[in-house]
Amino acid sequence: MFLFMKQHEFVPQVPYGTRDFLPREASQKRAVEGALAQLFANWGYDEVVTPTIEYLETMTVGVGNDLDQHMFKFFDKNNRILALRPDMTTPMARVAATRFKGSPSPMKLFYITNVFRYEQAQAGRQCEFYQAGVEIMGASEPAADAEVIALAVESMLKSGLQKFQIGLGQVDFINGIMEQSELSLVQRQQIKHAMVTRDLVGLGEILVKSGLSQSDQTLLKHIPLLHGREDMLKQAYSMVTNDKSRRALDNLANIYHLLENYGVSQYVDFDLGIIRDFEYYTGMVFEGYTPGLGFPICGGGRYDTMLNSFGMNCGATGFALGIERVLLALERQGIDGTQNCKGIYIGWNKENLVKAIKQADTLRDSGCSVELAVIPESCAQAKESQKSKGYEKLVYVE
């Protein structure tokens, strides 16, 4: 898109919901991504890189039409519908089911990449955004869930964040209540949507029209308010009688016990109102929040049925961390995550380019960050270049 100023003059613009990363931001982004890649590798995860574009039919396998309205879609030359990947869970499931069949289980994979989702753009929420995440495929035990939550905590710490909290929920808690109440599929979807968006007024209106008993309405309205520590789990246990909801609470208690052994339980609270906004979640779910952001900085959960849609019968769990959201949180919390890696600027006069090249090579071989001027400068000009470019030291060759 071009913004025309005068005839034959224009200012080129980037597409809606995209942005440029200028040197300082790009450096900080790269530092965070590098730290996360090393962290994931240290925990035994292997990196996978998938195509930016996928067939639309692939992206909707196991997730229905949840993301359809948010996808960037187009046709290839054979009139097949393609889409820019709106998340990484589905592509990772495709890779596991098609490229790793017969591999030792469980598989531990990670990615650091961009995804695309059409939504209202604002700070920390773009149409193109970057994520770092992990998936454990082939494990259905609480130990796998505890590991991804513990790794999510370590990821935020490694990114430089100091203040954050994870809310931990379980989708089967609410599923058990709604199955017991015999609500229709449409009513369940309406109630879940109201809970995902935290629309308590809308939730109340839906429940009034649902035909449920007053006690069931009161219970469902109370779910978004059920958050706290272990005593809250006991309270929730006494509020339900169905086996599915109680098993969900037992599952959360088991996961939390493992998180205590990881030494990260202080970062975790229970929040039974968290059910996430994708239908593929089947068990525990969680979201991470940090001061200064009005939306999650990370999120994930268990999705045991998605791989079945690709012909691979196994459980899976994982999480994704928003890179731009990390950078925005660091900025708003006054945490400088960048390191000044611009060490030495080398200037030279007309007769000494060869000497300056050798000097630069020697310093680079010793591990220094060095920029060599590409045009001759006076010493005063070199000092000005050093200052304006942000280098700590000047070496002038004359």
Q: Burial level of 329, CB count in 10 A (0-12/13-18/19+)?
A: buried
Q: What is the pLDDT of residue 338?
A: 60
Burial category of 75 from C-beta neighbours within 10 Å (exposed 0-12, middle 13-18, buried 19 and up): exposed
Q: In the predicted model, what is the mean pLDDT of residues 74-89?
A: 95
Q: Indicate whether 351 and 314 sit together in one domain.
A: no
Do 144 and 245 sit in the same domain of this protein? yes
Residue where one domain finishes, among candidates 281, 306, 332: 332
Q: Hey, what amino acid is at 16?
A: Y
pLDDT per position as a tens digit, 82-134: 999 999 999 999 999 999 988 888 999 999 999 999 887 777 779 999 999 99
* Predicted local distance difference test score (pLDDT) of residue 297: 96
| End position of a domain, from candidates 276, 307, 332 | 332
Structural domain includes residue 161: yes
Whether residues 324 and 348 share a domain: the answer is: no
Domain identity same for 56 and 128:
yes
Task: Let me know if residue 82 belongs to a domain.
Answer: yes
pLDDT digits (tens, 9 = 90+) for 161-205: 999 999 999 999 988 988 888 788 888 888 888 887 778 888 888
2-51: pLDDT as tens digits: 555 555 677 889 999 999 999 989 999 999 999 999 999 999 999 999 99
Total domains in the chain come to: 2
Confidence of residue 217 (pLDDT cuts 50, 70, 90): confident
Query: What gap in Å lies between CA 333 and CA 156, rounded to an integer?
Result: 14
pLDDT for the residue 191: 86
Task: Summarize pLDDT for 252-279 with one digit per residue, the tens.
Answer: 999 999 999 999 999 999 999 888 766 7
| Strands of the sheet with 393-397, listed across from one edge | 370-372, 344-348, 393-397
Crossing angle (nearest 10°) for helices 200-208 and 214-222: 160
Same domain, 207 and 315: yes
Output the average pLDDT for the chain.
Answer: 90
Q: 131-157, pLDDT tens digit by residue? A: 999 999 999 999 999 999 999 999 999
Tell whether 355 and 273 lie within a shared domain.
Answer: no
Domain boundary among 332, 352, 383: 332
Confidence class for position 339, pLDDT limits 50, 70, 90: low
Residues 325 and 357 in one domain: no
pLDDT in the model for residue 161:
94
If asked whether residues 122 and 226 sit together in one domain, one would say yes
Contact 55, 84 (CB under 8 A): no
The answer on 386 and 240 residing in a single domain is: no
Q: What is the CATH number of the domain that holds 129?
A: 3.30.930.10
Residues 260 and 393 in one domain: no
Within a domain: 12: no
Provide the residue range defining the domain that includes 383: 344-397
Cis peptide before 291 (omega within 30 of 0): no
> What average pLDDT does this structure show over 312-338?
90
Domain assignment present for residue 337? The answer is no
